[in-house]
C-alpha cells in the first residue's frame, strides 16, 4: 500500500505546486483519498480499482457511515480528478469513475443575518478594550468586503489602499482581486492600527505585515475568528447558526437586496462561476416577497 500512498502524495504535491491549489483544498483531497486508501487496504487491494462496482462498494460504505450527500459528492469529485491524473501519468489508463454519478446535491440556502442582526453583532465588541477594538475592526472589514475568513486573517498592511477605499485580496488558488471597502471599516482599521496593533508589536518586540493579530502579536487563526463570532452572537441574542462565512453570505445578500448587479457581486466575492453567486438570489427573492406582502394594500 506504500506505493499507492506515495502516488497520492505525488498527486497532492502536483496540485499544490503546479495547479496552485489552496491548503484547504489539498487538505480535503488528502482526507478523501486517504479514506479511499483505507478502504482498499481493508479489502486487500494492491492497485487502484478499475471496476465501477468497487468504487460503488466504497461509496456504499460512506453511506453506511451516515456521510452527508455533499461529503460523498466531494469524495466522488476527488476520486474523479485523481483518476484523471493517474491516466495522464500513465500509471493507470482504465478509469472506473466515468461510470459513477454524483448524488443529487442537497441545495441548502446559506444563512444570512438581517440588517438589524448585523448591527447588533457589530455593536458587541467592548471598544474600551484592545481586543474589542480589534474585533470590531475585523467584523467591520469582513462585513464591508465579503472576504473569506482565510482572506481576512492573511490581510497585510500593503493590501489596504485606504485613500482609494480598496483592499487587495488573495483568494482561492492565490487569485488576486481588488474589492471596495467602506469608509466605516477603514476608520475602524485605522483606529485598531494606531491604538492597538502598533503598541502591541512594540511591546512584544515583533515585526509582521499581517493586519489582524492575536494578543501575542501573531496572526489570528480561523478557529479564533469562529469563536469570537459565536461569542458575540450569543451576547447579541442571535440564535441562527452563524459562522465566519455567514458574514460573507450576509454581505452578498444585503448588496443584492439593495439593487446590486449579480455580476458585480460575483466579481467582489471572487466566484469563478456565476451559478455560485446565484444562490443568493433565492434569499433576495424571499425578501422581495416579504416586502411586497407587508406593503401592498391588497395582499
Q: What domains can you pick out in the chain, each with its CATH number?
A: 2-99 (1.10.150.130), 115-295 (1.10.443.10)
pTM of the model: 0.63
Place of cell 491524473: 85
Catalytic residue among 148, 197, 249, 254: 148
pLDDT (tens digit, 0 to 9) for every residue of the chain, 299 residues total? Answer: 588 999 999 999 998 888 888 888 899 999 999 999 999 988 888 899 999 989 999 998 888 888 888 888 889 999 999 999 999 999 988 999 998 886 665 556 678 999 999 999 999 999 999 999 999 999 999 999 999 999 999 999 999 999 999 999 987 766 889 999 999 999 999 999 999 999 999 998 888 999 999 999 999 999 999 999 999 999 999 999 899 999 999 999 999 888 888 888 898 998 888 877 887 777 666 666 776 677 767 65
User: By C-alpha distance, which of 277, 253, 250, 255 is closest to 266?
Assistant: 277
Is residue 245 flagged as an active site residue? Answer: yes
Is residue 67 flagged as an active site residue? Answer: no
Catalytic residue among 80, 191, 204, 271: 271
Contact between 265 and 283 (Cβ < 8 Å):
no
* Rounded (5°) CA angle 66-275-100: 45
CB atoms within 10 A of CB 155: 23
User: By C-alpha distance, which of 57, 223, 196 is closest to 130?
Assistant: 196
Catalytic residue among 136, 248, 249, 254: 248
CB-based contacts of 213: which residues, under 8 Å, 6+ apart?
134, 197, 200, 201, 219, 220
| 252: its cell numbers | 452578498
Catalytic residue among 168, 172, 222, 287: 172
Catalytic residue among 11, 83, 192, 280: 280
Is residue 192 flagged as an active site residue? Answer: no
Phi, psi (deg, nearest 5) at residue 277:
-75, -30
Is residue 172 flagged as an active site residue? Answer: yes
SS (H, E, C) the chain: CHHHHHHHHHHHHHHHHCCCCCHHHHHHHHHHHHHHHHHHHHCCCCCCCCCHHHHHHHHHHHHHCCCCHHHHHHHHHHHHHHHHHHHHCCCCCCCHHHHCCCCCCCCCCCCCCCHHHHHHHHCCCCCCCHHHHHHHHHHHHHHHHCCCHHHHHCCEHHHEEHHHCEEEEECHHHCEEEEECCHHHHHHHHHHHHHHHHHHHHHHCCCCCECCECCCCCECCHHHHHHHHHHHHHHHCCCCCCCHHHHHHHHHHHHHHCCCCHHHHHHHHCCCCHHHHHHHHHHHHHHHHHHHHHHCCCC
Amino acid at each position: 500500500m506504500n506505493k499507492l500512498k506515495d502516488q497520492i502524495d505525488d498527486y497532492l504535491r502536483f496540485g499544490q505546486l503546479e495547479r496552485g491549489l489552496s491548503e484547504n483544498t489539498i487538505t480535503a483531497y488528502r482526507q478523501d483519498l486517504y479514506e479511499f486508501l483505507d478502504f482498499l487496504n481493508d479489502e486487500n487491494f494492491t492497485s487502484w480499482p478499475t471496476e465501477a462496482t468497487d468504487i460503488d462498494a466504497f461509496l456504499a460504505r460512506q453511506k453506511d457511515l451516515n456521510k452527508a450527500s455533499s461529503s460523498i459528492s466531494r469524495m466522488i469529485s476527488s476520486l474523479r480528478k485523481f483518476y484523471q491524473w493517474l491516466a495522464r501519468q500513465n500509471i493507470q489508463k482504465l478509469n472506473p469513475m466515468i461510470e459513477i454519478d454524483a448524488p443529487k446535491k442537497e441545495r441548502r440556502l446559506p444563512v444570512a443575518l438581517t440588517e438589524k442582526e448585523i448591527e447588533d453583532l457589530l455593536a458587541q465588541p467592548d471598544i474600551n478594550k484592545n481586543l474589542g477594538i480589534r474585533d470590531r475592526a475585523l467584523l467591520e472589514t469582513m462585513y464591508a468586503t465579503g472576504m473569506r475568513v482565510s482572506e481576512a486573517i492573511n490581510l497585510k498592511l500593503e493590501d489596504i489602499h485606504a485613500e482609494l477605499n480598496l483592499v487587495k485580496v488573495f483568494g482561492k488558488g492565490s487569485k488576486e482581486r481588488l474589492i471596495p471597502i467602506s469608509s466605516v471599516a477603514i476608520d475602524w482599521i485605522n483606529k485598531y492600527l494606531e491604538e492597538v496593533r502598533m503598541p502591541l508589536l512594540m511591546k512584544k518586540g515583533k515585526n509582521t505585515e499581517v493586519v489582524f493579530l492575536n494578543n501575542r502579536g501573531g496572526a489570528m487563526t480561523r478557529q479564533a475568528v469562529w469563536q469570537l463570532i459565536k461569542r458575540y452572537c450569543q451576547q447579541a441574542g442571535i440564535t441562527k447558526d452563524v459562522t465566519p462565512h455567514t458574514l460573507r453570505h450576509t454581505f452578498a445578500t444585503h448588496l443584492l437586496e439593495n439593487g446590486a448587479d449579480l455580476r458585480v457581486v460575483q466579481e467582489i466575492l471572487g466566484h469563478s462561476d456565476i451559478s455560485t453567486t446565484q444562490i443568493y438570489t433565492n434569499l433576495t427573492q424571499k425578501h422581495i416577497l416579504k416586502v411586497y406582502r407587508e406593503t401592498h394594500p391588497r395582499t
